[in-house]
Amino acid sequence: MTGLPNRLLARDRLNGALARAGRDDTKVAVIMVDLDGFKKINDTLGHAVGDSLLNVIATRLKGGLREADSVARLGGDEFLVVLPDLKQDLSADIAGRKILFACAQPATIGTHELFLSASLGIALYPDDGDSPDILIRNAETAMYEAKRAGKNRMMPFRREAGLRIVRHVALETGLRRALDRNELSLVYQPIMDLATGAVAGAEALLRWKNPELGDVSPAEFIPIAEEADLIQNIGDWVLKESCRAAAELRRRNGRPLFMSINLSALQMDRRIVDQIAEALDTHSLPPDFLKVEVTETLLMRDVPLTLEIMESMRNLGVGLSLDDFGTGYSSLSYIKKSPFSMLKIDQIFIRGVLLDARDRRLFSGIVAMARSLGLDIAVEGIETSEHLWLARGERCSYAQGYLFSPPMPFGSFVEFLDRKTVISS
């Protein structure tokens, strides 16, 4: 369509350039070019407009380079530029800036004036690889880094970025099989009632142990699960397993212990209410035994829809908790409108209260605000008796932290209930 070489021919030309560079002691630059925003234009205005735009970009790329340079289209909106016979690295940087400028110029297609940008990744021979496949792969890795850094820019290949991409791919591949291979599990951290000293419930926390990767932190794998569109299935499994555990605790213990679960922002659609209802029904669990924790960041996404879904959860009888309060940017007016029954103060606020008077006043202000809204108050990160004393002094409702117990497997949590039902004063 564009009259440019394809991937196969580009690889052959790169192979020839590498052979000459090895003989003449020169360098070769490989630049991966990916157009930012092309998919939206193609989907909105149609493939005919998209194809014409690709032709414009192809012409600009060819026109801005030396006669010895090669431009290829790899497919979609990806182009590959090969710069042979370079004497210095700066030449690749200059060419990259020309490409960025060329892609950023407005293009008129029919009646449409279109604006694009590009993300570029640069790999150099012999610094970043000595074969076409390695250089193309490393240029692509650098291009993804440019996109992650905000697009409309170029990035040189960095070995640490390559290792990060390799691990990212390994994690995503492993996650796709984790459920089928029973590698996911839940651990439970007790939530203590500060008025009675008894265990009030538990927060279910997701863990992943992979045979090759070992124990992977949720902070690392959950964003990948969201990006790879795996979080719905994983979240549904967490919901069902949490309800199963809560029902088992109810049968064993006979006490009204609630189970708290965390929702990803990508789970917050209308399906989640039916999924919760089904999980409760499957395990004959009363809805007030389940609490759903929602973060401030999630609360700010599509506010009318989020409020509607949370209202449906409350009508179902499920408790709602605002998690990690103080770490996001939510509006107090949204909190006032939301059907929360509990506010969880993030652990960052408890860490400094014993040393900093301003932290203490801030902590007291959050508690007073929550109490004025009629919310129960839970404090995370209770690690010392002084933290516990402070939470009790502020008349908080619940506390959670390593002073009581770290998160633990279900069997250990059952033993904890049998062994320690009341905390000391």
pLDDT greater at residue 209 or residue 366? 209
Taking all residues of the chain, what is their mean pLDDT, rounded to a whole number? 90
What contacts 126, CB < 8 A, 6 or more positions away? 21, 22, 27
Q: What superfamily in CATH does domain 171-419 come from? A: EAL domain (3.20.20.450)
Q: Is the peptide bond before 126 cis (omega within 30 degrees of 0)?
A: yes
Which parts of 194-289 are beta strand (E)? 199-210, 214-216, 258-262
Mean pLDDT value across residues 85-96: 88
Do the domains 7-157 and 171-419 sit in the same CATH topology, yes or no?
no
Residue 52: Cβ-neighbour burial (10 angstroms; 0-12, 13-18, 19+)? middle
DSSP single-letter state for residue 395: T
pLDDT > 70? residue 322? yes
Residue 44: Cβ-neighbour burial (10 angstroms; 0-12, 13-18, 19+)? exposed
DSSP of 29-55: EEEEEEEETHHHHHHHH-HHHHHHHHH
CATH no., domain 7-157: 3.30.70.270
pTM flag (> 0.85):
no
- Scored b (16 or more CB within 10 A) or e, 143-155 reads bbbbbeeeebbbb
pLDDT tens string 128-155: 999 999 999 999 999 999 998 899 999 9
pLDDT at 227: 86
Please give the torsion angle defined by the CA atoms of residues 30, 36, 42 and 47, in that order, rounded to the nearest 10 degrees.
-20
Domain map (residue ranges) of the chain:
7-157, 171-419
pLDDT tens string 6-65: 989 989 999 999 999 999 999 999 999 999 989 899 888 999 999 999 999 999 998 888
DSSP single-letter state for residue 422: B
